[in-house]
Amino acid sequence: MTRSQRTAAFIASRLASVMLTIAGATLLLFLMVRLVPGDFTSVMLGPRATPVLRAQITHDMGLDRSMVEQLWLFASRAATGNFGEDVVSHRPILDIVLDVVPNTLALAFSALALAMVVGIPIGVIAALKPGSWLDSGLALLSISFITTPTLVVSVILFLIFAIGLHWLPVAGAGNPGDIADRLQHLVLPSVALALGWVGYISRLVRAALLDTLAELHVRTLRAYGVSEYRIVGLYALKLALVPVVSILGIGLGDLIGSSVVVEIIFARPGIGSLIFNSIAQRNYPVVQACIVFIVAFYIVANLVVDMINAGLDPRIAAGRG
Amino acid sequence: MAISLRNLSVNYSLQQGTAHALRGVSLDIEKGQMHGLVGESGSGKSTVAFALMGLLANNANVTSGTATIEGKSFDLTKRNATADLRGRGMAMIFQDPMLSLNPVFTIGTQLCEVLRRRTPGSDRKTQGAMAEDALAKVRLSNPGRRMNQYPHELSGGMRQRVVIAMALLSEPALLIADEPTTALDVTVEAQIMREIIGLRDRIGCAVLLITHSLGLVTEYCDAISVLYAGEKLESGTVRQVQRQPGHPYTRMLFDCEVPIDRERHADASQNRFTVIAGDLPDPRRRPPGCIFNARCDVSFEDCAVVSPGDYPVRNDDSHSARCLRLATP
C-alpha cells in the first residue's frame, strides 16, 4: 500500500469506530435518562395538572409506549436528525440546539486556540532550561492557572474588565451579524475558559519535551551542530506534541463542561446554558438532544485529534504507533 | 599529525561519590587513517568520544584534556569547547541506528539540516540535491525515494547508511564511529565498514573507531589503542600490537577471541573459552599501582605499588604500553 492509501484506510477505520461509539453512547444515554426518578409529566406540569392533560402529554411524548418502542423511535428519529418538538416552546428541538451550537463552538475553539498559542511557548521556554528560576516561575504560574477554578476566574474577569473598567461587554453573545461586537463578547469568556488550559498545556508540553530531549536522535542533531533552539522548538517539539494532542482530545469533554459555567456567568446563549435551563425546567427531551450533540462533538473532535497525530507522527498512520 | 588528544581525564559525579571514567588518556590519529579504540564495556571508550564532541552528560566533569584538530587547540575542560566543530570539523556515527534518527521527520529533512550548518545560505533545492547525492554515495538504494521516507520505513543497516551520509555531508576532519556495527546483523557489518572506509577515503579525514571487537580493528584499522578502566594501556600500529602485544591485558584480549574454525568438542559444554578472570576495578576506588594488577597473570610485587609509565615496546617509538615489565631497569 502506498502512504496515501494507508492514510485513507486509517481514516475509514476510525470513521467506522466513530459511528459505533455514537450509537453506543446514545443507547446508554437513553437508558440513563429513563433512570431519573419521577415521571416527566408531573415534574413538567406541576402537582395540580388534570389527568386528561397528563394523559395528553404522556401520549404526545410517547411515554405510553413500551421502552423498546421508545428506544426505536428515539434512535431512528435521532439518526435522521429529528429530535421531535419541544413541549414548552413548540419549536423543533433540533432548531433550538442548532441555534446555540455556533456560540458554544466559537467559545470552545477560541479558548482552545488561545490556550495553545500561549501554553505551548510557555512549555517550550520552561523546557529550554529545566531547573532554572524561569522554569520554576513558569511552573508556579501554570499550576496556579490549573488550580484556580473556571468559576472564580470568570467572576474575577467579569468584575474587573466588564463591570469595573467597562472595557468589554457585560453579557450575551453580541448582535448577530456584527462580527466586531461578537468578537468583543467572546474575549472574556474565552480567556476565562482558556486560563486553566494554558497551565495544563504548558506543563504537558514541558514534560513531553524533556522526555523527547533525552532520546538518542536529539544527540545526533547536537553532534551535527544543530542549534538548541531548533532542536527544542522544531525537532523535539513535533514529537512531543503527539502525547499533548492526545491528552487535549480527552480533555475536550472537560472544556465543554467548563463552558456551562462560563456561559451562565456571562449570560451567553450556548449549549451549556441551554442544558442548565432545560434541567431547571425538567425539559428532558432537550437535555437528551444536547447531550447527543456533545457526545458527537467529543467523538468527532477526537477523530480530528487522531488525524492530527497521524499527521505529526507517520508511524501512527502506518499502524505502528 | 591531524588529530591529537592529550591527557584527557573525566570524572562522573554520582550519588555514591566520584567515579573516575578516564585518566590521562592521550591519542594521536593520522589524517586518512583509522584508529581503533578497544576495551571492555565500561572502560570509557564512549566517554572519549563524547568528551571530544562536548556531548557528555551533565554530571560529567572534564578535569584535564586538550584536543588539537587541524592545527587548532581546544581546552576540553571548558564546556562546549568544541561546539563550533560539531557538524563541521567533527562528525559522529552512533551505536544504535534504530534510535539515532528523528522518527517524525523525513530522511531528506534531517540530511538538509546538516547542510544548513555546513553550507549556510544555499537554497533548499541545492541542499536536497546534495543530500540525495550523499545517499547515492553511501550506496543506499533508491536515494530519491528515500529522501521522502521516514526512518521507520528503513532497516537498521539503511538507517546507518543515512547517518554515514550525514557525516559525509558535514565533511569532517575527524569522524568518530562509536560501535557503528554493534547493533546490526553480521551480514551488514562489512557493508557498513566499507562505507565508513569509503567516506574516509573520499574526504581524507581521520577516523576514530570505537569498538569492543578486535576482529574489526585488525581487519580495518591502521592503529590501535587499548583502554582499560579509563586508562590507555597500550597503543601502536595494528601490525605491531597484533604481532607482539606489549601489555598482558592486550595479549589476553587477543586470546579471548574465538577462532571460527576452532575444533569443538562433541559435548558443547566441554568447549573451553579463554576468559580474563575478575572484574573491572571499582571506578570510585582506584587501586594503587597498576590498574590491571588484580587480573594480571604475570604481575609481580611492584605492580601493586608502582604506577607504571608509558614505556616503548621493542624500542619502537610508535608502540608503547603501560606495563612495569617494559620498564628498563
pLDDT digits (tens, 9 = 90+) for B55-87: 898 889 999 999 999 889 999 998 888 888 898
Which pLDDT score, from 0 to 100, does residue A37 have? 66
Residues B274 and B255 sit within 8 Å (Cβ to Cβ): yes
Q: What does the pLDDT read at residue A321?
A: 43
A272 domain residue, yes or no: yes
The answer as to whether A16 is a domain residue is: no
Residues B271 and B254: beta-carbon distance below 8 Å: no
Q: How many domains does chain A have?
A: 1
Helix intervals (H) in chain A: 3-35, 40-45, 51-60, 67-79, 93-128, 133-147, 150-157, 179-213, 216-223, 228-230, 237-265, 271-280, 284-312, 314-317
Residues 6+ apart with CB under 8 A from B232: B24, B25, B26, B27, B225, B226, B322
Percentage with pLDDT > 90 across chain A? 16
Q: Which residue of A has its CA nearest to B169?
A: A224
Say yes or no for a CB contact (<8 Å) between B103 and A219: no
CA atoms within 13 A on the CB side of B234: 28
Q: Which residues of A touch B94 (CB under 8 A)?
A: 216, 219-220, 223
Our CA dihedral for B211, B217, B221, B227, rounded to 10 degrees, sits at 60
Nearest chain B CA: its distance from A135 CA (Å): 18
Q: Min CA distance, A235 vs chain B (Å)?
A: 7
Q: Given this model, what pLDDT does residue A320 score?
A: 52
pLDDT of residue B329: 59
Chain-chain contact of B104 with A238 (C-beta, under 8 angstroms): yes
Q: Is residue A287 part of a domain?
A: yes
* Degrees, nearest 5: CA angle A68-A74-A79: 125
Q: Beta partners for B74?
A: B67
- Is residue A143 domain-resident? yes
Q: What is the extent of the structural domain holding A270?
A: 93-317
Nearest Cβ partner for B99 among A216, A242, A312: A216
pLDDT greater than 60 at residue B1? no
Q: In a 3-state reduction of DSSP, which class is residue B260?
A: coil
In whole angstroms, what is the distance from residue A226 CA to residue A240 CA? 18
- Taking only the tens place, the pLDDT of each residue in A238-253 is 999 998 888 888 878 7
Contacts of A82-86 spanning 24+ positions with Cβ under 8 A = A83/A285, A83/A288, A83/A289, A83/A292, A84/A285, A86/A283, A86/A285, A86/A286
Of B85, B92, B99, the CB nearest to A217: B99
- Tell whether A163 is covered by a domain: yes
CATH number at residue A121: 1.10.3720.10
Percent of chain B surpassing pLDDT 90: 49
Residue extents of the structural domains in chain B: 105-168
Give start and end residues of each alpha helix (H) in A131-178.
133-147, 150-157
Which chain B residues have a beta carbon less than 8 Å from that of A215?
Answer: 99
Q: Which of A225, A226, A318 sits opposite B152 (nearest CB)?
A: A318
Closest partner residue to A224 among B86, B99, B104, by Cβ?
A: B86
Mind listing the pLDDT tens digit for each residue in A125-173? 998 888 889 989 999 988 888 888 888 887 787 777 777 777 767 776 6
Q: Does B86 touch chain A (CB under 8 A)?
A: yes
Whole-angstrom distance, CA of residue B150 vs CA of residue B230: 38
pTM over 0.90: no
Q: Which residue has the higher pLDDT, B282 or B75?
A: B75
For residues B318 and B321, give the distance between their C-alpha atoms in angstroms, rounded to a whole number.
10
How many CA atoms lie less than 13 Å away from A169 in the CB half-sphere?
17
Nearest-Cα residue of chain B relative to residue A220: B100
Which residue in A220, A225, A314 is closest to B101 by CB distance? A220
Does A308 lie at the interface with B, CB-CB under 8 angstroms? no
B46 and chain A: CB distance < 8 Å anywhere? no
Is residue B25 within 8 A of residue B231, CB to CB? The reply is yes
- Could you tell me if A320 lies within 8 Å of chain B, comparing CB atoms? yes
Q: Is residue A26 one of the residues assigned to a domain? A: no
Nearest Cα to Cα of residue B218 among B237, B195, B201: B237
User: What's the half-sphere exposure (Cβ side, CA atoms, 13 Å) at A142?
Assistant: 27
Rounded distance between C-alpha atoms, residue A283 and residue A83, angstroms: 13
B265 and B83 in contact (C-beta within 8 Å)?
no
Q: Provide the pLDDT for residue A256.
A: 81
pLDDT tier at B185 (50, 70, 90 boundaries)? confident
- Contact present, B206 and B43 (Cβ < 8 Å): no
Percentage of chain A exceeding pLDDT 70 = 93
B202 interfacial to chain A (CB closer than 8 Å) = no
Establish if A78 belongs to a structural domain: no
What is the spatial distance between Cα B233 and Cα B149, in angstroms, rounded to a whole number? 45
Out of A140-144, A289-293, B200-204, B236-240, which region has the weakest mean confidence (pLDDT)? A289-293
Confidence at A12, pLDDT banded by 50, 70, 90: confident
